[in-house]
Amino acid sequence: MATREVISTGNELSAIAAVDAGCTFFGGYPLTPSSEIMHVISDLLPKIGGTCIQMEDEIAAICSVIGAGMSGSRALTATSGPGMSLKAENLGLAQMAEVPLVCVNVMRGGPSTGLPTRVSQGDIKQASNPSHGDYRSITLCAGNLAECYTETVRAFNLADRFMQPVIVLLDETIGHMHGKADLPTVEDVKAGIVPRKKFDGPADEYFPYQCEATEPAVLNPMFEGYRYHFTGLHHDKNGFPTEEIETCRKLIQRLEDKVMFHQDEIESNEEFMCDDLTGAEGEVLIIAYGSVSLAAKEAIRHLRADGIKAGLFRPITIWPSPAKRIKEMTDKIKNVLVVELNIRQYTDEIERASGRLDIEGLYKVNGRAISPHEIVSKVKEVF
């Protein structure tokens, strides 16, 4: 595949990716450290006939993006932790009504106002269920500058494939990091766009929510001659509210199954220097994601120079987690260290997937990055 070299920041690359992937609407509200996404896309969208609106707050921003998604546009919003909290209710509406959209969350220190200009990975658990109720979130996490672009592109395709919000996690470090990224060409990105399905039969035979038990709704864009109802209530095949027992049960089960039965289309991970790990005594598996994985890779090089064979497992799709592969890796390697800029938010998932309670952790929650030296020291301390 042909590539192009771009020098930019993670936030800027996410905005560029959205436009290249066919996004024509952005609704947002500036919030550190995600604001550059709105700044950049506000210049890009008018040039292609798109629209960027700064709304009065984060709630209005997500509502505008849902409206754009209903009309058939690829739509984006971007925010940070407190903004995600405000968007939560309407992310639930988009899950229930099955409206595709992409939300980039550039994580910062929390809870509440927290550390607005400092790095964190404190929104991992929130991303698994940002709103109440039963559904399955799709959450991707960029681990380098190139993935700020490629994972945003992938998020739009997944949103239209599964007809629901898709969250892309960056963090302050990777969002503001400035450097070189090798990206796919715009032509390749556009050739890979996966459009949402449409019904093209007679209008009186169109039932948007009457679909297979493991498939998403087929929502034709509004204003194209097909009429149906949008609601956050449990609904029937036309979208009208209902409390009929089986209809309600099947609807909520389908919101789960349309994701969980297709994990092979969603799952993505990286295994760095794991090919020669055999499970021998003394080998170490480090699990990290986002910007922390960059420090972990450097730490692994130092550990190997010191005679300690180490490798990295990095989930790129955070939710649903790559549980099967986590289990395979942690069954093979005795010494496992999870490194996170939070307190155990993904470690809990690693323990669940692996069935192990002896996994070590290295955590930091003071807004500062974890250095390769700290990871090396932790490995030598506990293993």
- pLDDT (tens digit per residue) in 27-43: 999 999 999 999 999 99
Q: Are 80 and 106 in contact (CB under 8 A)?
A: yes
Q: What is the model's pLDDT at position 329? A: 97
Angle at alpha carbon of residue 93, lines to 26 and 194, rounded to 5°: 55
- DSSP three-state, residue 328: helix
27: Cα separation from own chain's centroid: 18
pLDDT, tens digit, 9 for 90 and up, residues 152-165: 999 999 999 999 99
Amino acid at 45: L
Across 51-71, average pLDDT: 98
> What's the token pair of residue 226?
């097909």
Task: List, as one string, the DSSP characters of 229-263.
Answer: ---SS-B-TTS-B---HHHHHHHHHHHHHHHHTTH
Those residues whose C-beta lies under 8 Å from the C-beta of residue 75, and which sit 6 or more positions away, are 23, 24, 25, 26, 27, 65, 66, 68, 69, 100, 101, 102
> What's the token pair of residue 212?
């297979």
Amino acid at 149: Y
pLDDT, tens digit, 9 for 90 and up, residues 213-244: 999 999 999 989 999 999 999 999 999 999 99
pLDDT, tens digit, 9 for 90 and up, residues 199-211: 999 999 999 999 9
pLDDT, tens digit, 9 for 90 and up, residues 98-107: 999 999 999 9
How far apart are alpha carbons 5 and 13 in whole angstroms?
Answer: 12
- When pLDDT is cut at 50, 70 and 90, the band that residue 292 belongs to is very high
- DSSP three-state, residue 6: strand
How far apart are alpha carbons 222 and 66 in whole angstroms?
Answer: 12
Give the residues across from 76 on adjacent strands: 26, 102
> What's the token pair of residue 75?
């739509």
Domains of the chain: 3-191 (3.40.50.970), 271-382 (3.40.50.920)
Sheet of strand 284-287, all strands in order from the earlier edge strand to the far edge: 269-272, 310-315, 284-287, 335-340, 360-363
Query: Look-up: residue for tokens 């003394």?
Result: 282
Sign of the torsion formed by the C-alpha atoms of 140, 141, 147 and 148? positive
Those residues whose C-beta lies under 8 Å from the C-beta of residue 293, and which sit 6 or more positions away, are 143, 144, 270, 272, 312, 314
Across 116-123, average pLDDT: 98
Q: What is the model's pLDDT at position 330? A: 98
pLDDT, tens digit, 9 for 90 and up, residues 258-282: 999 999 999 999 999 999 999 999 9
- DSSP three-state, residue 59: helix
pLDDT, tens digit, 9 for 90 and up, residues 8-19: 999 999 999 999
Q: What is the model's pLDDT at position 194? A: 86
**Exposed/middle/buried for residue 245 (C-beta within 10 Å: 0-12, 13-18, 19+):** exposed
> What's the token pair of residue 152?
């945003």
How far apart are alpha carbons 241 and 91 in whole angstroms?
Answer: 19
pTM confidence score: 0.97
Q: Which has the closest alpha carbon to 171: 114, 117, 126, 107? A: 107
179: Cα separation from own chain's centroid: 22
Quote the DSSP letter at residue 162. H
Task: List, as one string, the DSSP characters of 330-380.
Answer: HHH-SEEEEEESSSSTTHHHHHHHHT-S--EEEE--SSPPPPHHHHHHHHH
Those residues whose C-beta lies under 8 Å from the C-beta of residue 220, and which sit 6 or more positions away, are 72, 198, 199, 206, 208, 226
Mean predicted lDDT score pLDDT of the chain: 97
Across 313-333, average pLDDT: 98
- When pLDDT is cut at 50, 70 and 90, the band that residue 1 belongs to is low
Q: What is the model's pLDDT at position 2? A: 83
